[in-house]
Amino acid sequence: MKGALFLGWRYLAHHRFKTAVLLASVTLMMFLPAATRLLVADSAKALTARAETTPLLIGARGSQLELVLNALYFHAERPPEVSHQLLDEVQKTGLATAIPLNTRFRTRGAPIVGTNLDYFKFRQLMLSDGRMMGLLGECVIGANVARSQQVGVGDYLVSSPETVFDLAGVYPLKMNIVGVLESSGSADDDAVFVDVRTTWVIQGLGHGHQDLEDAGASKAVLSRKEGAITANASLVQYNEITTENVREFHFHGDTSGFPLTAVIAVPPDDKNSTLLRGRFQEGTLSGQLVIPASVLGDLLETVFTVQNYIILGLVMLSLATIAVIILVFLLSQQLRRGEFFTLKRMGASRGFIAVLVASELGFVFLGSLVMAALLTWGARSYATQFLLSLMTL
């Protein structure tokens, strides 16, 4: 018995190329359907986990999926906007805590998320260093941002202009980093958090400049008449908010009309949730209200359908591979008739030869099983995040 196993092993070792081809074919045959199913299941779990902890989302009318993916993963380039007034209206209903989100801007590729302190409480985000943003222009960064960009408390980030050719557009804002968040294993690790009003400053809706009533700003004054001062283009505007100039920052117009990309609504219970949904359905409140888990459920349903087709194709491919492998073995038996005849002459029984052939097959399948398992483990460890980023782009 041992001799048959030894001869089988030596046969495979001697015919390296043939063995390698067989191992690769069987490994892929096992790995592809299993990995596809597991990766999709893992991605779905990761996607729905964040969606399930976000009870309700409010945003502009349009694509529900875009609203959910942008509010949960901050990936949209130019998300549609709602006014801050909508947040006030939701808050006034008393049915839910409303958390603002403004995710239009980026810094060094990372999304700038304008929100308030309730967001950190809601997502249970903890600081690993520093403190929460306290003043306009201060930011708190995610763990991955700190690691990848080699920045921390005391450093600064500059907001990216929306278009490089917009020379007359909004000046980039230098934001001081006052805190770094602990890793949460979510999209929050890759974001830069600021007060929602800081995003309005980035957008140019608020700004800071010299006090026009101050004698030092006289050169910047174009005209003064009847209590109205008009400034010229030389008026110094600040591109960094400090404790010295923060008082000079102000917003023009009614801030209730200022933009948000989404509002997270956190009702205390199901009853309040239903009542709030009713307000949107009957049109008392404008915009659209969605349940993120439900929207992502629809997306995942499509993904699972596609996955089933892919797996069906892979199973058919596997069957074809098995047929080819059987054919290779049968042909190989024909070629090895002389070898088996010699073994018989040396006293080997028919059983011995059967064990020899079976062991060769067994070694190939065992080796393939181990390799497929290792590949699946590797794929689950590294590819889930990649797949998630593809799905939420």
Question: What CA dihedral angle connects 359, 361, 364 and 370, to 10 degrees?
Answer: -80
Q: Mask 68-97, x = binds other proteins (CB under 8 A)?
A: -----------------------x------
Query: Looking at 77, 124, 227, 302, which residue binds other proteins (CB under 8 A)?
Result: 227
Query: Looking at 105, 238, 249, 258, which residue binds other proteins (CB under 8 A)?
Result: 249
Q: Which helix (H) or strand (E) holds 194?
A: strand 192-195
In the complex, the smallest distance separating the C-beta of residue 129 from other proteins, rounded to whole angstroms, is 13
| CB proximity list for 122: less than 8 A, separation 6 or greater | 97, 99, 264, 266
Phi, psi of 162 (to 5 degrees): -70, -35
- Which region holds residue 304: left if phi is over 0, alpha if psi is between -120 and 50, else beta? alpha
310 strand-pairing partners: none
CA atoms of 116 and 260, how far apart (whole Å): 12
45 strand-pairing partners: none
- Looking at beta carbons only, is 45 or 250 nearer to other proteins? 250
- Looking at beta carbons only, is 178 or 356 nearer to other proteins? 178
Question: Does 252 sit near other proteins (CB under 8 A)?
Answer: yes
Does residue 154 contact residue 139 with C-beta atoms inside 8 Å? no
- Looking at beta carbons only, is 197 or 384 nearer to other proteins? 197
- Looking at beta carbons only, is 35 or 263 nearer to other proteins? 263
Query: Looking at 34, 41, 46, 231, which residue binds other proteins (CB under 8 A)?
Result: 231
Size of the site for other proteins (CB under 8 A): 35
CA atoms of 15 and 303, how far apart (whole Å): 42
Q: Mask 321-360, x = binds other proteins (CB under 8 A)?
A: ----------------------------------------
Q: Mask 204-223, x = binds other proteins (CB under 8 A)?
A: -----x--xx------x---
- Looking at beta carbons only, is 50 or 197 nearer to other proteins? 197
Q: Mask 98-137, x = binds other proteins (CB under 8 A)?
A: ------------------xxx--x---------xxxxxx-
Q: Which helix (H) or strand (E) holds 26?
A: helix 16-52
Does residue 178 contact residue 139 with C-beta atoms inside 8 Å? yes
Q: How many residues does the chain have?
A: 393
- Looking at beta carbons only, is 187 or 201 nearer to other proteins? 201
| CB proximity list for 166: less than 8 A, separation 6 or greater | none
- Looking at beta carbons only, is 14 or 252 nearer to other proteins? 252
Name the nearest CA neighbour of 175 among 225, 129, 136, 131: 136
Tokens of 198: 């800081």
Q: Tell which positions 186-205 bind other proteins, by CB under 8 A.
A: 195, 197
Q: Mask 130-169, x = binds other proteins (CB under 8 A)?
A: -xxxxxx-x-------------------------------
**How open is the CA angle 180-184-185, to the nearest 5 degrees?**
125
- Looking at beta carbons only, is 1 or 228 nearer to other proteins? 228
Find the part of the chain contacting other proteins (CB under 8 A) among 65-73, 226-234, 365-373, 383-391.
226-234
CA atoms of 229 and 330, how far apart (whole Å): 96
Question: Does 250 sit near other proteins (CB under 8 A)?
Answer: yes
Residues engaged in binding other proteins (CB under 8 A): 91, 116-118, 121, 131-136, 138, 178, 195, 197, 209, 212-213, 220, 227-232, 235, 241, 243, 246-247, 249-253
